[in-house]
């Protein structure tokens, strides 16, 4: 077990090392070499010790294009053990092309079990959503992050943003939000809404909807964020304060779904995607979290499908 990381089901013993023959016989276990894994784990420990602070790391070349989850994939491969159960989602869906391909690749190089059930997973890699089902202390949620710098909206210089973080000088971000209110009577920032972590560091929560921000606050699981192109790792440990920037006289608001329900499961308390029928133009709504929606549709007490081991033909 890596020191400092949460204990979870499926973690290999402390003396376990990646010395087994690689899957397929061509790569080390979990694709990355042991030196790369150790470096990434050290950066994760530093990021968890300073919540919300961006930690640089040596991003490796991966067999997928940059921008398609190379950062999140590197974290997953560095932490995953042979007894882990993996779940991968893309904007809430388990069956999107990106999610399916990442699952197949991780399965090929590790042989771990995969699942669509949030509760059964020990490690979840996600793009743009947090599962609706509450996460538990033994779980790790890994975010694919395209742009890790929250101040990029107001400052293009990397040197200047580093200075602003060091001095906790976030006045320009506050001014940006204030100007939004003056112009539009609303804060127009949707996904990537800036949050203050542990009352100190301004953080980009990745392009998750504002609906999901409350799940970061005082969460039970470890949240890890990684941007492969930008070579940055940051983290929100369990039971950490995470607050979206908000004015006293203009409260932070999430997306409104008043009076709307999922057309598949009937849920009215989840984040909904709008679906438009091309033929009729009729608008309906469906849960963004497809696994949660499918579970809600099942009859009470129905057993979940057991984890499966997927391979590549």
Per-residue pLDDT, 216: 98
DSSP of the chain: --TTSPP-TTPPPTT--S-SPPGGGSSBTTBS-HHHHHHHHHHHHHHHHSTT--EE--PPP-SS-TTSSHHHHHHHHHH--TT-EEEEEETTBSSSHHHHHHHHHHHHHH--EE-S-GGG-SEEEEES---SSPP-TT-EEEEE-S---GGGGT---HHHHHHHHHTT--HHHHHHHHHHHHHHSS----TT--EEETTTEEE---S--GGGHHHHTT-SSEEEEEETTTTEEEEE-TT--EEE--BTTB-------TT---TTT--SSS-EEEEE-TTT--EEEEES-HHHHHHHHSPTTPPPPPPB-----
Task: Specify whether 226 is catalytic.
Answer: no
Mean pLDDT calculated for residue range 32-49: 97
Task: Specify whether 265 is catalytic.
Answer: yes
Considering the chain, what is the average pLDDT of its residues? Answer: 89
Q: Do 211 and 260 fall into the same domain? A: no
pLDDT, one tens digit per residue, over 172-208 is: 999 999 999 999 999 999 899 999 999 999 999 999 9
Which among 70, 33, 8 has a CA at the least distance from the CA of 233? Answer: 70
Q: Indicate whether 98 pLDDT > 50.
A: yes
Residue 35 in domain: yes
Give the number of domains in the chain.
Answer: 2
Q: Indicate whether 40 pLDDT > 80.
A: yes
pLDDT, one tens digit per residue, over 47-85 is: 999 999 999 999 999 999 888 899 999 999 999 999 999
| Radius of gyration, alpha carbons of the chain | 20
Per-residue pLDDT, 25: 55
Q: Do 238 and 289 fall into the same domain? A: no
pLDDT, one tens digit per residue, over 301-313 is: 444 444 555 443 3
Q: Do 228 and 268 fall into the same domain? A: no
Q: Do 265 and 119 fall into the same domain? A: no
pTM reported for the whole predicted model? 0.88
pLDDT, one tens digit per residue, over 108-142 is: 999 999 999 999 999 999 999 999 999 999 999 99
Q: Do 232 and 295 fall into the same domain? A: no
Q: Do 55 and 204 fall into the same domain? A: yes
Q: Do 102 and 225 fall into the same domain? A: yes
pLDDT, one tens digit per residue, over 271-297 is: 999 999 888 889 999 999 999 999 999
Q: Do 87 and 120 fall into the same domain? A: yes
The more confidently predicted of residues 39 and 25 is 39
Report d(CA 73, CA 106) in Å as an integer.
8
Q: Indicate whether 12 pLDDT > 50.
A: no
Residue 82 in domain: yes
Task: Specify whether 52 is catalytic.
Answer: yes
- β-pairing, 195-197 vs 123-127, is unpaired
Q: Which residue out of 24, 228, 262, 300 is catalytically annotated?
A: 262
pLDDT tier, 17 (very low <50, low <70, confident <90, very high otherwise): very low
Q: Which residue out of 111, 269, 287, 300 is catalytically annotated?
A: 287
Residue 13 in domain: no
Report d(CA 265, CA 273) in Å as an integer.
13
Residue 249 in domain: no
Q: Which residue out of 92, 265, 301, 311 is catalytically annotated?
A: 265
Task: Specify whether 53 is catalytic.
Answer: no
pLDDT, one tens digit per residue, over 234-250 is: 999 999 999 999 999 99
Residue 60 in domain: yes
pLDDT tier, 27 (very low <50, low <70, confident <90, very high otherwise): confident
Query: What contacts 4, CB < 8 A, 6 or more positions away?
Result: 45, 48, 49
Q: Do 131 and 41 fall into the same domain? A: yes
Q: Do 273 and 197 fall into the same domain? A: no
Per-residue pLDDT, 15: 39
Report d(CA 78, CA 40) in Å as an integer.
7
Q: Do 284 and 223 fall into the same domain? A: no
Q: CA angle, corner 304, sides to 7 and 209, nearest 5? A: 65
Could you list the residue range(s) of the whole structural domain that residue 209 is in? 18-150+190-243
Per-residue pLDDT, 67: 83
Mean pLDDT calculated for residue range 25-44: 91
Per-residue pLDDT, 303: 43
| Structure-token match 């395209």, residue found | 146
Residue 162 in domain: no
Task: Specify whether 262 is catalytic.
Answer: yes
Q: Do 237 and 297 fall into the same domain? A: no
Residue 168 in domain: no
Residue 139 in domain: yes
What CATH number is given to the structural domain containing 145? 3.40.50.11310
Q: Which residue out of 52, 71, 92, 219 is catalytically annotated?
A: 52
Q: Which residue out of 4, 72, 293, 301 is catalytically annotated?
A: 293
């Amino acid at each position: 077990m890596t020191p400092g990381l949460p204990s979870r089901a499926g973690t290999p013993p402390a003396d376990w090392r990646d010395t087994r023959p690689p899957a397929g016989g061509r790569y080390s276990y979990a694709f990355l070499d042991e030196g790369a894994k150790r470096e990434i784990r050290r950066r994760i420990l530093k990021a968890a010790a300073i919540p919300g602070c961006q930690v640089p790391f040596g991003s490796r070349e991966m067999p997928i294009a940059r921008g398609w989850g190379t950062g999140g994939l590197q974290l997953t491969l560095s932490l995953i053990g042979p007894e882990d159960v993996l779940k991968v989602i893309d904007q809430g869906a388990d069956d999107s092309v990106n999610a399916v391909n990442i699952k197949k690749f991780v399965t090929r190089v590790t042989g771990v079990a995969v699942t669509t059930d949030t509760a059964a997973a020990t490690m979840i890699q996600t793009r743009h959503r947090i599962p609706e089902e509450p996460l538990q202390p033994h779980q790790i949620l890994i975010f694919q992050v395209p742009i890790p710098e929250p101040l990029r909206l107001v400052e293009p210089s990397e040197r200047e943003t580093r200075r602003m973080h060091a001095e906790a000088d976030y006045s320009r971000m506050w001014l940006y939000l204030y100007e939004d209110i003056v112009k539009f009577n609303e804060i127009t920032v949707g996904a990537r809404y800036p949050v203050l972590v542990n009352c100190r560091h301004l953080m980009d929560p990745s392009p998750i909807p504002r609906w999901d921000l409350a799940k970061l606050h005082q969460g039970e699981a470890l949240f890890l964020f990684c941007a492969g192109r930008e070579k940055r790792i940051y983290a929100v440990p369990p039971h950490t304060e995470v607050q979206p920037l908000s004015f006293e006289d203009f409260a932070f608001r999430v997306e409104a779904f008043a009076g709307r329900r999922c057309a598949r499961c009937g849920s009215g308390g989840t984040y909904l995607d709008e679906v438009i029928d091309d033929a009729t133009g009729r608008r309906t709504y469906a849960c963004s979290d497809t696994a949660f929606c499918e579970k809600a549709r099942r009859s009470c007490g129905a057993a979940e499908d057991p984890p499966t081991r997927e391979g590549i033909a």
